[in-house]
Every structure is written in C-alpha cells, then in structure tokens.
Amino acid sequence: MTNDLDVATTDSDTGPYYDPFSRAINSSPHAVFKRLRDEAPLYRNDELDFYALSRFDDLQAIRLDIATYTSTQGVLFERMLDRDQPQSMLIEMDPPEHAIYRRVTSRHFSPRAIGQLNETVRALCAEFLDAQAGKAEFDFVDELAKKLPMMVTSSLLGLDRATQDELRPVFDARESAINREDYDMQEVVAIENRIRTRLLEVAEERRAAPQDDLISVLVQAEIDDPETGPRPLNDTELAAYCLILYTGGNSTTTLLLSWMAILLARHPDQRQLLLDRPELVPNAVEEIIRYEPVSHTQGRTTTRDVEWYGQTVPAGAKILMLAGAALRDERHYDRPDEFDVTREIGANTGFGFGNHVCIGAHLARLEGRIALEEMLKRFPNWDVAETVADMRITTSMRGYYALPMTVGR
C-alpha cells in the first residue's frame, strides 16, 4: 500500500487557494484538498463568488438537507454561472419533481435489473480484450474504456449500430470540447443539441413501434404532474432524459475504467493482491471510486442563510461540495491517502448520496467489476505511459481519455 498524495499548489503564506477552473489544481488536487479540509473547511472565493466545503460529514449534511441546499440552480459550476442553458434532467431537480421523473426509469437501474446484464457485459469485455491478444501495447481507453460503456448504454437505450456509429463522433466532439482549456459552454450545448435531436428522432420511432428498451419506456411513461395530473413526457423532457442517460452512461464509466487501469499500474502490489485473491475485485472497484471519484465536485445553492464554522453563508450563495476532498478526509477514513483494495469502506459516496445518488451507479460498478476481472485474466501485468496519457478535466469530472499501456503475461 502506497501513498501518492501530490504536491500542494498553494501559497502557504496566503492560505489555500481553490479555483474549479484551474487545470493545474484539478490535474493533481489532493494536496489542495487537504489544506482546505485542515485550514479552510468553509472556503470562500470572492473572485468567482462561491463557497466550498471539503469535509466528509459536512458534505453528507448538505446532501441530506435538500430544503436548504437546492440543485435547481445548477450542479456543474459552469451551469451555476450561466443559467441560460437547457435544464439537465434529474441532476438539476429537487423533490418532489426529482422523484417524479426518476421513478420513470429507476427500476430499470435496480441491482436486480442490472445483474441481468452480467453475461452481456462480460461478452463485450472478452471481445474487446481478446482483440488485443498478442499485442505488446494498446490504448486502454480506445480499446475498452470507451467502447464498453458506449455499447452497453446504447443497447439499453435501444440504439442500433447505425445510430451508434452516427452518434459516436458527435459524443467524442462533446468530450473534446469539454476538455479544452478555453471551454465554451455554448459550443458544448450546440453539440449536445445534435445528440438530443437524434435521440428524439429515435423516440418518435418508438412511439410508432415500441421495443424492449429504455427509450420505449420513456415514450410510454406517464408522470404525475402536480398541476395537470398524469401525462406523458413532452419532447423537451424526453430529449433531456435521453441525453442525460446517454452522456452520463458513457462519460462516467469511461473515466472510472481509466482510473482502474492507471491506479493498478501505479500500485502493482494491489494488483497482485487481486490476482491472488480475486474475491477482492468488487471491493477494489469501491476503493477506486473512493480514491479517485470521477465526479470530484458538485454544486448546490442555498435557499436561506446558514451558519458554517462561525460564518454566515447567505441565501442564494453558490456552494461547491468537494467530493474528491471528502473521500480523502482523515476524520472519516483511516489512512485515506493510501490505495488499499482490502479497505473496509462502508457507505461509499463516490457516486453521490441520498436523493441524488447516480441512477447508473449499479451499472457502472458492474462494468468496472467485470472489466477488471477480464483484464486480470488476460493481462495480469501492465504499465501505463503516463507522460503521454491524456487527462479529461472539467470543474466536476476527472479521468483519462487516452491511456497507452504496455502489457505482459
């Protein structure tokens, strides 16, 4: 077990500094996060007009107090700064509205429903990894981490191969736009509108001829609208729902798998533990989610004045919950900066907690577990070329979109 706490990018004379737009901080944030936890558990950035909380118990308190901390004003920091963008389905809703819309698909993402995908996911992993047999090196993201979630998510939605092939470069363009240092939200929304339009076309086809897929579920669903009573989703809601399932199902799992590959390359002793004790693989996935959560920051807006650490945070204030910091909080975890696949984690909040726990968390865990099992079967040893790895960094997400690796047997 080793500790890879990074070098602080703060000025010890002026106190810790956190900027959610800083690629330097986001590429290696854990020393900054530690200083925030220790020195500024309620952090204030006047220039960007936000507060940040970084301790585990504080984030749990916010997640459970939905009356005081609303998601309706944006969860991603960019969206909190610019509300003239289309609403993100589910993640920018509070109860009871959130529960009404989430209920439409929640049973399709239950542990039982997701467990039925076991053989499908394993077959896809085998197909993608067997294609690398005999190679000394390949890009893990290109060959597995992007392909697997794309195929699984598209299959759940009911997208045929032609539609998948049509949308794949559009989705890649979205990811590329998000990852640029001069990130332009308008450009991202324009690309997302192309995805919305195509998915809505598929939905129209399902209205005429429903199939056994999630888009058919959405077009046939009725929601209990408090104002009008039961009604179907309108086109705006339908397109937004399809978009969040498509983009979330792809981005989140790709980044999780990338962390799996790079962390086990950095910690070969832990990888050997998994080879010796394969029953630890599910717990290893949980430790990966804790150690490097894909979504490291989420936002809320206060609905009233609140007190934190002797200071008043006014109503209407933007608060960032630093999940990446909370999951390394030594007040909650023993040896939090050690990567330990045998760790007893308890309740893992790496995919959120409470009302806003990620709807696809069970699916991401299933894909992570099977991908790791199949990888270890074929390539028990691998190294990652980190100097040429391409990191995907936004104000809220961290992971890799290019991960060249060498493999050995």
- With a pLDDT cut of 90, the percent of the chain lying above it is 85
Query: Span 309-329, mean pLDDT?
Result: 98
What residues have CB less than 8 Å from 158, skipping those under 6 apart?
A: 202, 206, 211, 212, 213, 214, 215, 216
Query: Span 185-189, mean pLDDT?
Result: 88
At 5 the pLDDT is 54
Question: For the segment 196-209, what is each residue's pLDDT rounded down to a tens digit?
Answer: 999 999 999 999 99
At 7 the pLDDT is 43
Query: Span 73-89, mean pLDDT?
Result: 87
Question: For the segment 115-148, what is each residue's pLDDT rounded down to a tens digit?
Answer: 999 999 999 999 999 999 999 999 999 999 999 9
Question: For the segment 285-305, what is each residue's pLDDT rounded down to a tens digit?
Answer: 999 999 999 999 999 999 999
Confidence at 13, pLDDT banded by 50, 70, 90 = low
Tell me which residue of 150, 396, 373 sits closest to 293, measured CA to CA. Answer: 396
Helix locations, 71-110, DSSP H: 77-81, 97-102
What is the C-alpha to C-alpha distance for residues 199 and 205, in angstroms, rounded to an integer? 10
Q: Are 233 and 377 in contact (CB under 8 A)?
A: no
Q: Are 256 and 368 in contact (CB under 8 A)?
A: yes
Structural domains of the chain ordered from first start: 23-408 (1.10.630.10)
Confidence at 8, pLDDT banded by 50, 70, 90 = very low
Query: Span 212-238, mean pLDDT?
Result: 93
Confidence at 87, pLDDT banded by 50, 70, 90 = confident
- Catalogue the long-range contacts made by 180-189 (C-beta closer than 8 Å, 24 or more residues apart): 181/23, 183/21, 183/78, 183/394, 185/78, 185/79, 185/82, 185/85, 189/85, 189/86
What residues have CB less than 8 Å from 409, skipping those under 6 apart?
A: 379, 380, 381
Look at residue 91 and give its three-state secondary structure: coil
